[in-house]
Every structure is written in structure tokens, then in C-alpha cells.
Amino acid sequence: MSTETETRAAAKAELPKAYEPAEVEARWYPIWNDRGYFTADPHSTKPAYCIVLPPPNVTGSLHLGHALTATIQDILIRWKRMSGFNCLWLPGTDHAGIATQMVVERELMKTEKKTRHDLGREEFLKRVWAWKEKFGARIGEQHKVLGASLDWTRERFTMDAGVSDAVKEVFIRLHSEGLLYRAQKLINWDPVLHTALSDLEVDNEERDGFLWHIAYPVKDSTERLVVATTRPETMLGDTAVAVHPEDPRYKHLIGKTVVLPLVNREIPIIGDAILVNPEFGTGVVKVTPAHDHNDYATGQRNNLPMINIFDESARVNENGGPYAGLDRFEARKRVVADLKERELLIEEKPYKVPLALSQRTGVPVEPRLSWQWYVKIKPLADAAIAAVEQGRTKFVPETWTNTYFGWMRNIHDWCVSRQLWWGHQIPAWYPMGPDGKVDFESSTPVVAREKPEGDWVQDPDVLDTWFSSALWPFSTLGWPNADAPDLKTFYPNSVMETGHDIIFFWVARMMMMGIHFMGDVPFRTVYLHAMVRDEKGEKMSKTKGNVIDPLDIVRGAPAANLPAAVRNKFPQGMPAMGADALRFTLASLTQQGRDIKLSVDRIAGYKAFCNKVWNAARFALMNLGDYQDDPKLFIKERSLSLADRWILSRLNRAIAGTQTALANYHFAEAASLIYQFLWGEFCDWYIELSKSSLYGDDPHAKTSTRAVLTFCLDHILRLLHPFMPFITEEIWQKLPILREVESICLATYPMEDRRLDDRAAEEEMKPIIEAIEGIRTIRGESNLSPALKIEAHVQSSSDDVRQTLDRWRAYVMPMAGLKKLTVMGLGPKPPQAAADIRAQMEIYVPLAGIVDLAEERERLKKEIEKAEKEIGVINKKFENPNYAARAPADLVEKDKARIAELESRIQKLSDNLKRIAPVEVRIAPPAAGSVNLGEELKEELSGVSVPDPDNQVKEALDKLREGTKEGLSSRDRYDLGVAYMNMGLVDDAVREFNKAREGDEAAGEAAATARGAPAKKPAAKKPAAKKPAAKKPAVKKPAVKKPTVKKPAVKKPTVKKPAVKKPTVKKAPAKKAPAKTAAAKKAPSSEPAAKQAAAGKPASKKPAATKKR
RNA sequence: GGGCGGAUAGCUCAGCGGUAGAGCGUCGCCCUUACAAGGCGAGGGUCACAGGUUCGAAACCUGUUCCGCCCACCA
């Protein structure tokens, strides 16, 4: 005994009440890593599973995109590792040529006011390396914070010796195969960075600009050709004017020349059907082959000379005559001004100009003629297309397949050289001239790994960063050494998981390179995740100030560090959510093909989930006593309770569902399944149900419940581990189970086990849950305090249901807060009881003396309406004769059964409504005209026509009138009393209440209920009454009217309700109500009735309701 | 100009041919001895619009309107 208390105390001390992620998360990662759990074994006999982490920029810092990537991949890796795979998750960083060089240059300028040219190449590179040494480890450390189970022993960097060697090898081989060449072409030039860019590194955007019409005088003629252009300054480099060869306006001029204004150069008028669209502008196009892609092509077609008018910074060069030295935009202004002056500017109109902008600098790219290295891409692309067509690599979600094909089929040669310093210097060598100079333009380079003998100079350019990235799936595994064990074991990789924004930059190129150099696809599956956005769906960017740092989420952050939107939610700063919560959130938000809008509320919700897991474990550990799991005894071999069997069966479903979801990359679904099971079934039901045996006296029941609790927790934790590695490990270590492995990281992932399935238990639990929920609904609707123990009657026609409820009353009673549970067949209903009518049972909770029956009535009416509405929906189907004829028979049957069920439900609800209706005697409807009921009653009610009271009262009154007062049950008496009360006849009311009480005491419960179903349809008497009290939409009327009279008067404690509920549409009728009341008040004829309603009501419920409230 | 995705509860999203779902938020009652980061209950939706296919459509087809992304050399 005392030991048990001690154990409990100890457990309690060990597990704090609230989960604190900070301490737990910091503790586990080093342990896992140091023990080598994440280190892959190339010689393992287990099946291999490999993912390479998309290498983040070395100098980068973790953002939510990384966090999402890491989360998804870690889920896959941990899941597979636990499922018996030999897993390699390979980390690395990318040298990120342009980005890193820019960062260091900026820093250099800031601290030393120097440019890279001031330092020189060698010194500058030293600085970049130093920078890399300083910050390169940061992003890796940040991944560890997230719990990413990466194999750090294999960490790579794109400029490592090994990877660099692979880069050289690929360059040389491609060159020798004729797939890599050097050429002078028009490329995208960044005038700020002074480098070429690939097409992918350019963004197109429309900006406000102008379309200028400029007159070019035709030589030896008075005619002028008017060209349309958005870039007038480029006319300095014009070498032709083009018209459509069939254009009647200009046809005759083809072959002549124009004199280029400002420059006075004579250039030909050519006909070119490809370039010129006669419909557009003036139908005349100036041709500047050196500065426009279209014009370049035109120049090629027509053998036009090319005049380069810009230098590397896009300033006008010596070819620009008087404009030399001007920046291109300055030159534009000057050219326009000069043209205007010479009256050659015909028109200047606003125009949306398509602009090509450098992704890096945001500056308009200047098409520039230059020598660059290109990969001849078509042959590589063809193979990569075929691989996907053949299904050797598949995309998830599949929709990306088309995007991939679309790009691959229209691919252009890849410009791979960059005029940067930071990167893989191109292994090409140029002969040094006798003067010690190198002519990079006209000399032919030698491509070789090392400098050849003699005076050679290496190509100063470096390779596009994506060139080395394209090799990542094999360059990291030891290639070009074909015998490298890692390469043999882990190529092809299993999955490439990355953002869809780099499908062209990276995925497509890995496909091409992998297939070409390895002879097989680099990965079997490409899983492309969505982009993480802020809550409004906007891209997170520093300029917008909406960037949320994942580490702030994990560790918490002062308000000042948070973007405005988040700060509003956490004015005191954001609490530490923990990596587990962040990971679970991200996993829950993954859906296919759409953006992820990250909501901090959602993260907070999952932090709460962590706490729930924690406390479920805490509960278990506090109640396990000295239980120690016996691995030889399979859980189902124990003598189990119904709840035990039920939860095991449910657990098994959760396991099966999670496995399926994971196998299909449905991370959100997997997360949701675990969440629902753990919280909605294990905690809400099983833990609560387990208390009866845990706190009970039966030692066997206690032990088996402890065993099941332990079993479930063990499985849940393992199921959850890939999503929430830290908390699951922390708890798992404390479970009294026999651990064959020292960490949950190495434990086996739960597998579906048919032996746990128990359909019978699940079926048997249904009525129990239904009964509990039904009673709780009544409780909630009647605003009964959870502390108040109540009585419930459950009636069911099914023997099974009755037996189950009877047998498991130990479940039902505490869960529903009952002091007494009566289970019986259908029969007389308890008086003044709230009811919940369900398919398999009717639940009654006597409310007399506890609660306001008016609310119960409202509820019942609502229920009836709801059921009627549903019948309406189904009946609508049957109105169409084709439905019964053509729809599947089982469906039609189902609908018929449903109607029957609903009808019986309505009947029962109406019956119940009738039984508690009298309280509702609404004198209010002034339909009765000026009849003063009170007066009439005093005259023994003779000859009075009652203005539509509910049937029961009517009956009672009828009986009274007939002088059969003796026939009144105590129930009738009570009702009558209420009726008197409503009419202000207090004395009469008290008399009836007293008699009712006497009658009750005398007759006992049985007698009181005896009057179960008298006179079902007493309505036969007068057509005035709406007899069945239901059936038609007409019912709605009274439902609407009621509140008018009753609510203001009776409901003083609940007045809030109507006051608060403004946003609902339903308000409309309520608004009408007061108007009617007012009208009634004004009408002189109804004055007495109105007065009574107003005055009498407040008193109405008192006698019954005073007790509890 | 092409292509793709989206439009469902106040918010974020599931559902993708057969009675509209979840989480968060809201409202009501509760600090019940695992958890107030909690428990129990409730309210809340002409599933963007218009046609069509079907016995039946939120779902399939067509069109429209918005929103987002990608690709493209129209001066």
C-alpha cells in the first residue's frame, strides 16, 4: 500500500503537471546523435531507404520552408527507420554562389568599405571561406533543434573536395561527349552583379512604361518609317528596320535604307515575317540584335551586324557616340528628349512594358552578347522525360508530372557559367599569349582536371550553383568512385522531397544528370510540398515584415521579435511552443498542391495536444502502481473488460489508418488520425472508463486495465514518434515495459494486428456511448451542473441494449454523473422528464424540481423540427418516381428505414412534449378575444371555449368542466396549478399544487406515471386546436410566437442568451416578436390577457423551480 | 497569350456521386482528484455563380466571376 503511494508520488514528482518542451527537447537530441542512431550502415542487410536533404545555403538561417522540409523528411525517415529500414538521411549545405558572394560583399562594404575587387580574387575567397566557417554550421544546428534525424557523419558541402571532384568529372565528361560547349550568344546579364544568369534566374514582370513612336527618315526619300519601341535608347545599336514582307504600306521600301536619327548611320529596311506583326504598333520594328532576344534571332536570320552599345554595367559604351558613359535609363531620357527636339518623336503613350528582372538584384536584366558555357540539354532531357513516362520516377502529387513534362519538352540549353568568384571554377584552360595576356574570346580552351603543361590560365568563371546541386544524389555518396559502398547501397535515393518552386532548378536537373551518369533515375519518388505562407496567404519576406522564425516558435520570443500579426495574438511575447508542436502543425497543414498558411493559433492548438499527451501519460504513470509489463503474455490473453477490448480494437484501426496514410504521403491525415484517436478515444473515453477498475477493488480488473493502458500508450507513442520525436521519447522511457532497444527511435513502428480487432466490443460499446452522450446532452441543454448527480431512465426495446447498459452501468453512471440509472423496456415515461430520443433507446431525466421545463420544451420542438426537416429532404427524393425505381435498392431501403425511424422519433418527441407541455399554458395568444379566462374559471369554467391551450390542459379543463375532478392525476393537478398561476389565480394554483404533491406521495412513482398515454388525439373535439402538435411546418408558428410572451417574462436568469446572439440569421422572427407584443398591449380588447401574461408569468415557474438554481 | 491550382462554418482546411465534416474561435454549464494548454454540451454552412449530365451533384461536364501560382521573345 504505502509502496504504491510512494510510487505514485514518485511518478507525480517525475512528471510535472504541464509539459515543458524546452528542457526535454534540449536533452534528447545529443543522446540520439551521440549514440549513432542516425548513422546509416552501407553494409546492412536491411532494405535501404535514403533521402538527401535539399542542401540549404551555407550562410542561410532556418526558415519555415526548411522546417517543413525537415519535418516531412524526418517523418518519413523515422517511420522507415522504425519499420526496419536501413535509413540514410544525408545533410549538407550549398555554397549558393551568388547569394553567399553577395552577403560577404555587403559585409565587406559595411565593415571595410571595400569591394571584392579591392581585395582581389584570392583574398576575397579567403574571406568567403572564413564566413562559411563562421556561419556554415548554424543551419545544421537549427535542424537539430527540430529533431531532424540526419546522419551528420555524412554531412557534405557542395565545395567539399569530394563533391568538387564530382563536379569537375561531370564537366569534363559532358564536354568530351559533346554535351557541353562554349559559345557566344545573347544572354541575360545582370548589370549589377556583372554575371550571366540562366533563364530560370530571371523573373518577368509588367511595369508601367511607354511605347514611343519614332520616325526614321528613309534615305533619298521624303518618306519616313515610324517604329514603335519601349526602349528608345537601344536605337543607338539598331542595325536594321523591319517590316512585314506583305505589308502593302511598306512593302515597296524593303531593300532601301533609313538614316538612323541621332547616330546618322545608314541601316537597311528588311522584310521579316517572323519578327513583325503588322497589326501591332506601326507595323515597323527597329532591330537591335545585340540587345534583344527577338532582334538577335532576326539578326541571325538576316545576317545583320551586331552593335553592342552597353558596357558590363549597362552604361552606354563608346558605340553610343554622344551618349557614351550614360546609364541606360539616363540615356533613354536623353534620346527621347533629343528626338523630341528634332521632331522625330511622333507619339509617347503609356504602356505596360514586360520586363525581365534579375531574381537576385531585382534590376532589369540586360540582354548581352557574350561567351558562355552551355550544356546541350536536349539529349539529357529526352532521357529524363522517358524515365518519368515509363514510371521509373513518379511525382506526388501527380499533377506536377505535367509541369515537369512541359518544361522538359521546351527546354533550352543551360547556360552554366557565371562571372562570379565564389563557386566551382570552370576546369578549362586558355593559352597565355606571348605578351602574358589571354584572349578568352577567340582562343580555344582545353578542358582538363589539372592545368596542362605550359602557360595556361584557368577560365575565371565559376559554374552555376545548380550545376553541383544537380549531382547531389550521387556526388554525396562517393561518386565518381563507382565502388563507394554508400553509392551502391543508397542510389537511387528513395524519395526526393522538396518544394515545388525548385522543380526546374533542381529536380529536373538531378533527373537529367542522375540518369546520364548513373544510368538510373536519382530517386523513385518526388514528393513536392507546398510553400509556407503567412496567415493571409502572403509570401513571407523580410520586406513585408511577416517572417516568422521557426526557432521563435520553438523557443518562444519576446513580442518585439514577432511580426505584427503574431504580436497581436501574443502581446506579451510568444510562449515556447516546442519543436514537437511546430512539427505536428506543419505535418497537419500539408495538403497536396496548395500553399500552407501557417496559423499560430494552430500551433498553440498542437502545443495543447502535446500537453494532452503528457497528461495522459501522467495519468497512466500515476495509476500503474507496480505494474510491470510481461512481454510473454499477449495483451489479448488477459481477461479484459469491454472497455479494454474496445480501445484495443480502436487502437488497431488507428494504426492501420496511420500506416496507410503515411504510405500515401498523406501526412495531415496520419496526424489527424493519431490526434483523434489519442484525444477523442483514448483520453475522452478509455481513460475515463478505466477509472472504475483502476479505483475499484477487483485486482484482476485493475491489472488488466493497467496492462491495456500501458499497451496503448506504448503503441500511441511509437505511432506518434515520427511526428513528435521528443515528447514521445521522454514518456516512452518512463513506461514500465520491457524495452528491447534503448530508444523509441529504434523501436518498431506499430503494425496492424488483426488479433486486436474486436467488432463485438465496438458494437457493444455503442449503446453505452450513446446513453452517456444522451444524458450529457440533456445535462448540457438543461444547464445542469456537472456536480449535480441526477437520475436517468433508459428505455429500449432491444434486449441487447438493455443487457449491455445493465451490465456496464459502472461505465454509464460515473460518465453521465448519475445517482440512479433505471434500465427498462419501452413503457410509461417518467413525469416531467427531459428526453433524448435515439435510434436504439429513449433517455429520460426527470427534471421536475430541478430545472425550467420551458427550455426542455424548446429543445424538444427544435428536435422535432430537425427531424421533420430531414424527412422533408428524404421525401423529396421519393417525390421523384425515378428515385425508387433507379437508385440502388439498398439505398432506397435505407432511406425508407430512416423515414420510419424519424417518424417514430417525432412521435416520441411529441409525446414527451405533450407530457411536459402544460407548463406552457400560454394565455397570451389574444385570439380568444376579450375572454377573461380567470373569470371564467371562477365560474367553474362552464361554457367557455378555451383558446387553444395545449391538449393536456384542455383535457384537464374539460374534465373539470364535466365535474370529474376526481379523475385528475397529480400530474393533471400540477398542470392545472400552473395554468391557474398563469392566470394570476394564485390561491387556486397553490391548492392544486398541494393536491398534486399529496397525490404523488400517496401513489408513488408508479401511480404518477400511470397516465402514460391517454387520449392520444383529443383534438377530435375541436378543429380549432392544432392537434398533433407537430407534423407540419405549421408548427413553426407557435414555436416562433412562444418566445414573445414567455421569454421576457419567465427567463430572467437566462436573459443573456437572446441578448448575446445577434449575429445569427434566426434573429428575424425574434425581432418581430416584440412588435407583436406591443401590438397586443395596445389593443384594448386583449388588455386583460396581456396584463396577465406580463404579470402572471414571473410567478409561474417559481413553485417548481426555486429549489435548485 | 498559354498552363495549373483554389473558391465548403467567423478563421484554417478535410470531403470529391448518395442524410454537409475537423481543428481553432464563439456561446452555455463546470477549477470533477491526468490535463483550465482542461471537461461536458450547444450554436454555426442556399458547399462562388449559371447551365448541363444523373433517380440523385459540394463532388462529374460546360461556361462565368474572383483569388493565387507557373510558363511565354510580341516591338
pLDDT tens by residue, A15-58: 788 898 988 999 999 999 999 999 999 899 999 999 999 999 88
SS3 label, residue A302: helix
Contact A694, A686 (CB under 8 A): no
Q: How far apart, in whole angstroms, are the C-alpha atoms of residue A140 and residue A135?
A: 10
Tell me what percent of the residues of chain A surpass a pLDDT of 70.
Answer: 79
pLDDT tens by residue, A365-417: 999 888 999 999 999 999 999 999 999 999 888 888 888 998 898 888 999 99
Scanning every strand, the nucleotide with its C1' closest to A787's CA turns out to be B32
Give CA separation, A1080 vs A627, A938, A1075, A1094, in Å. 73, 24, 9, 11
pLDDT tens by residue, A295-307: 988 888 888 898 8
Spatial distance from the CA of A787 to the C1' of B63 (Å): 60
What distance, in Å, lies between the first and last C-alpha atoms of chain A?
Answer: 42
Spatial distance from the CA of A609 to the C1' of B13 (Å): 18
Scanning every strand, the nucleotide with its C1' closest to A293's CA turns out to be B73
Spatial distance from the CA of A1053 to the C1' of B10 (Å): 28
Spatial distance from the CA of A31 to the C1' of B34 (Å): 28
Of A359 and A1106, more confident: A359
Chain B positions under 7 Å from a protein CB? Answer: 3-6, 11-14, 18-20, 22-25, 27-32, 34-46, 54-56, 67-75
Beta pairing partners, A447? A428
Q: Closest Cα partner for A235 from A262, A213, A208?
A: A262
pLDDT tens by residue, A1023-1034: 332 333 322 322
Of A216 and A967, more confident: A216
Scanning every strand, the nucleotide with its C1' closest to A894's CA turns out to be B19
Nine cell digits for residue A131 = 564566413
Confidence category of residue A1, pLDDT binned at 50, 70, 90: very low
Scanning every strand, the nucleotide with its C1' closest to A618's CA turns out to be B34
pLDDT tens by residue, A880-901: 777 777 777 777 777 777 777 7
- pLDDT of residue A1059 exceeding 60, the answer is no
Beta pairing partners, A89? A51
pLDDT tens by residue, A560-592: 888 877 787 787 888 889 999 999 999 988 875
What average pLDDT score do residues A198-221 get? 86
Scanning every strand, the nucleotide with its C1' closest to A229's CA turns out to be B75
Q: How far apart, in whole angstroms, are the C-alpha atoms of residue A677 and residue A653?
A: 9
Scanning every strand, the nucleotide with its C1' closest to A505's CA turns out to be B70
pLDDT tens by residue, A479-492: 999 899 999 999 99
The Cβ of residue A378 has, within 10 Å, a number of other Cβ atoms equal to 13
Phi, psi of A751 (to 5 degrees): -115, 150
Confidence category of residue A947, pLDDT binned at 50, 70, 90: very low
Phi, psi of A260 (to 5 degrees): -65, 120
| Residue whose CA lies closest to nucleotide B73 C1' | A294
Identify the pLDDT of residue A153. Answer: 95
Identify the pLDDT of residue A911. Answer: 72
Three state DSSP letters for A170-197: HHHHHHHCCCEEEEEEEEEEECCCCEEE
The Cβ of residue A218 has, within 10 Å, a number of other Cβ atoms equal to 18
Give CA separation, A762 vs A767, A814, A828, in Å. 10, 20, 31
Q: Closest Cα partner for A321 from A368, A370, A261?
A: A261
| Residue whose CA lies closest to nucleotide B72 C1' | A204
Confidence category of residue A1107, pLDDT binned at 50, 70, 90: very low
What average pLDDT score do residues A62-74 get? 91
Identify the pLDDT of residue A750. Answer: 95
- pLDDT of residue A1099 exceeding 60, the answer is no
Spatial distance from the CA of A1056 to the C1' of B44 (Å): 18
Spatial distance from the CA of A783 to the C1' of B18 (Å): 37
Q: How far apart, in whole angstroms, are the C-alpha atoms of residue A211 and residue A227?
A: 10
Q: How far apart, in whole angstroms, are the C-alpha atoms of residue A661 and residue A674?
A: 11
Spatial distance from the CA of A858 to the C1' of B11 (Å): 31
Cα A769-A773-A775 angle, rounded to 5 deg:
120
Q: Which residues, at least 6 apart from A932, have a Cβ–Cβ distance to it below 8 Å?
A: A1088, A1089
- pLDDT of residue A1006 exceeding 80, the answer is no
| Residue whose CA lies closest to nucleotide B28 C1' | A783
What average pLDDT score do residues A945-964 get? 51
Scanning every strand, the nucleotide with its C1' closest to A679's CA turns out to be B35
pLDDT tens by residue, A427-443: 999 998 888 888 888 88
Spatial distance from the CA of A726 to the C1' of B31 (Å): 30
The DSSP line for A32-99 is HHHTTTT---TT-SSPEEEEEPPPPBTT----HHHHHHHHHHHHHHHHHHHTT-EEEEE-EEB--HHH
> For residue A683, what is the DSSP state?
I
Cell numbers 544510368: residue = A519
Residue A776: its H or E element: helix A759-781
